[in-house]
Chain A
Amino acid sequence: MPLETKPETEFGAPRPGLAQRGGSFAGVRAFRPVTPRRLVLICAMLLAVLFVAVVIALRMGTFPISIREIVLTLFNGAIGRRAEIPSDYWLVVFGLRLPRIALGILVGAALSTAGAGYQALLRNPLADPYVLGVSSGAAVGAIVSLILVPRLPGAIQIAAFVGAVATIAVVYLLGRRGGQLDSATLLLAGIVTASFLSAVIMFLMTTLSGRDLRGMSFWLMGDLATPPSVNMGWLYFLLVIGLATIYGTAADLNLILTGEQEARHLGVNVNRVKLVVYLAASVLTGLAVSVSGAIGFLGLLVPHVMRMLFGTDYRVLIPASAIGGAILIVLADTLARTVVAPTELPVGAMTAIAGAPLFIYLMRRRVR
């Protein structure tokens, strides 16, 4: 018998008798699976919030600029009428604040998506993007470049990315069992690698001079003040590839979360999905860490908040986490650079200070 055709069981057709019984089928509409419509609605809503956050971030700072002027500047900039914009507005909006916001959005989206991916991959709600040591590897790369080529511009970010990629490869090799990624083994391999690399970081930090040491500790906490040495377009290109790759496995991740064996029986290629998610989430983490340092808490917090708001379905959770992470980091960075201006706080400290109470509030409020 050809594989494509399956003998029709009478189960294949809805039973008229049942449908007519009213009660049992009237409720079918109450089923609310994720529809493309619902997905678009949620994303549009979150994007609107993100837009508001961006406007707030553009408004705040030492140089005063009103919301009306911001909107006008953005509008004229968007339609290419640069001549109509006063040059100081142009500089503040497009030269200073917007690039930093764009970097924040990139980092927030990458970390939150990676966090959601790791939580499913490791089947552990406590997993965050740093649990597998990617950020520690990036930090080692950054320190090594600070020691070897302290004056070379951009070297620190490239070295950090190389460190992250090397860690991804090592943890992958250690985290396999019987030739396949195994969640428990992977988690242990990642944690061991992370603590080993942390020890290396501590050791290397003692060799740094005072100025580098302060820069490094800021980097370890996360910071958006340094513009990336690589073209932002390339970074966004990598981000979109990473997001799309993870999103392609969303339906599979839903089933894997219910149980790996069961997912296999339902036809999911579990090994392939795990490998894809591991690579994509790790590259996203490496990307974020290389340009901004290890901004903490975001990658753990945002997926959980989005779960509480929109449910556990990864087809919604992944885009919602990406946008939600962007919103949170834009707001946190605005606070970080304004509360004790002109001094800046590390944004990583801000995400934790603002994020933890929000998380606890949502957790306590939740009734189910």
Chain B
Amino acid sequence: MNVLTGRGGLAAATAPSAEPRLKVEQASFAYSATDKSAPKFTLGPVSFDARQHELISILGPNASGKSTLLALLAGMHAPLAGRIALDGTEISKLDARLRAQRIALVQQESELLFPLRVWEYVLQGRYPYGRRLRFESEEDCLMAGNALAQVGADALRDRWMDQLSGGEKQRVILARALAQQPLLLLLDEPTQHLDIGGKVELLRRLRKLTAERLYTVLVVTHELNLAAEFSDRIVLLHKGKCLRSGTPAEVYDRATLEEVFEAPLDVDTRASGRPRVTLRGSEHG
């Protein structure tokens, strides 16, 4: 099955015995309005790990804890219990700049107050490497150019950020994250505002980057079928708990998915061996 994506061979060749890059062990977290009140939302304990060259999708309905898990992975909060380690170092204990050199997060971008050119935006990804006043070095420019090239956005370099299409903007945001030269690349619903062509294009690109480079990629998404098609493994969250994790075929079980997403679903297996989820239509029922 892995041969089809061209990933398995590479992974086996480069890191047969390597420790997992990212280790999430029994990590849990709780939000509450004040210090004393009862928690409003609890996550975990969650456990999974991720290796180099792996693309992992985090799935789950709204309010299942995906964003919380992502915040923990990005080092924005320390887990209440358990441990999240990147190459053996606990993420929440990393200094902010070191963390930004290792972990990049792609979010829906905020609205820009003042117009910014694409290259200025991408160069921001070099911030964690800068010195005192952070004038960009030759190397920074080279890395930013490299990052733009990797997402196929060289031509957009001199355009204004607010004049890009949704797909172009998403690529530029990804380029800024790549300019951080991260080990761990986190994406928060990157396909949200893209049409189906844009979604497939983005995931192909991620797949390719994951295979060719040493990134470990984690994607939070609602796209069951795209996740099944492009992910090595799936982490399925439900009501703050990690329900299942494993390959798409292991996780995509009809009863489980129906319970989690509260919709009548069918799961079948495609010729590639990857599962496919369809809505059980009323005309067949």
Contact = CB atoms under 8 A, between A and B. Distances in A.
Partners in one complex: yes
A287 B104 CA distance: 41
Nearest to B138: A28
A251 B130 contact: yes
A342 interface: no
B134 interface: yes
A97 interface: no
Nearest to B74: A265
Interface string B103-141: 111010110111110011101110110100111100011
A254 B117 CA distance: 13
B87 A24 contact: no
B91 to A, nearest CB: 12
A139 B142 CA distance: 52
A35 interface: yes
Nearest to B129: A267
Specify which of A12, A259, A266, A368 lies most central, judged by the most chain B CB atoms within 10 Å of its CB.
A266
Specify which of A34, A250, A267, A315 lies most central, judged by the most chain B CB atoms within 10 Å of its CB.
A267
Contacts of A312: 114-116
B223 interface: no
Contacts of B158: 30
B142 A28 contact: yes
A9 B214 contact: yes
Contact of B127 (A34, A268, A313): A268
A30 B123 contact: no
Contacts of B146: 11, 14-15, 18
A33 B101 contact: no
A258 interface: yes
B135 A315 contact: yes
B220 to A, nearest CB: 14
B180 interface: yes
Interface in A21-79: 23-25, 27-28, 30-31, 33-36
Contacts of A254: 124
Contacts of B160: 368
A176 interface: no
A6 interface: yes
A23 B154 contact: yes
A259 B143 CA distance: 22
A24 B145 contact: yes
Interface in A246-265: 247-248, 250-251, 254-255, 257-262, 264-265
B145 A266 contact: no
B283 interface: no
Contact of B181 (A12, A125, A251, A265): A12
B225 interface: no
A142 B98 CA distance: 49
B178 interface: yes
A257 B110 CA distance: 10
B89 interface: yes
B113 A27 contact: no
Contact of B141 (A1, A9, A33): A33
Contacts of B87: 1, 7
Contacts of B80: none
Interface in A125-164: 125
A269 interface: yes
B121 to A, nearest CB: 7
A202 interface: no
Nearest to A264: B76
B95 interface: yes
A267 B115 CA distance: 22
Interface in B61-106: 74, 76, 87-89, 94-105
B181 A27 contact: no
B205 interface: no
Contact of B135 (A7, A35, A265): A35
Contact of B180 (A259, A266, A268): A266
Given A254-B124, A269-B96, A262 B89 contact: no
Contacts of B114: 125, 257, 307, 312
A10 interface: yes
A31 B109 contact: no
A306 B76 CA distance: 35
A279 to B, nearest CB: 20
Specify which of A3, A15, A250, A265 lies most central, judged by the most chain B CB atoms within 10 Å of its CB.
A265
B88 A33 contact: no
Given A3-B95, A251-B134, A264-B76, A257 B113 contact: yes
A31 B154 CA distance: 12
A251 B130 CA distance: 9
Contacts of A264: 76, 96
Specify which of A28, A315, A368 lies most central, judged by the most chain B CB atoms within 10 Å of its CB.
A28
A1 B135 contact: no
B149 A18 contact: yes
A266 B130 CA distance: 11
Interface of B: 74, 76, 87-89, 94-105, 107, 109-110, 112-116, 119-121, 123-125, 127-128, 130, 133-136, 140-146, 149, 154, 157-158, 160, 178, 180-181, 183, 213-215
22 contacts: A3-B89, A7-B183, A9-B181, A9-B183, A11-B178, A11-B181, A11-B213, A24-B149, A28-B142, A31-B123, A33-B136, A250-B133, A255-B124, A258-B109, A258-B110, A265-B76, A265-B100, A265-B105, A267-B100, A267-B128, A307-B114, A312-B115
A-B pairs with the 3 shortest C-beta distances?
A259-B110, A267-B100, A251-B134
Given A11-B213, A267-B101, 19 more contacts: A1-B88, A9-B181, A14-B142, A18-B146, A24-B154, A27-B145, A28-B142, A31-B119, A33-B123, A34-B135, A124-B113, A125-B113, A125-B114, A257-B112, A262-B110, A265-B74, A267-B100, A268-B127, A269-B96
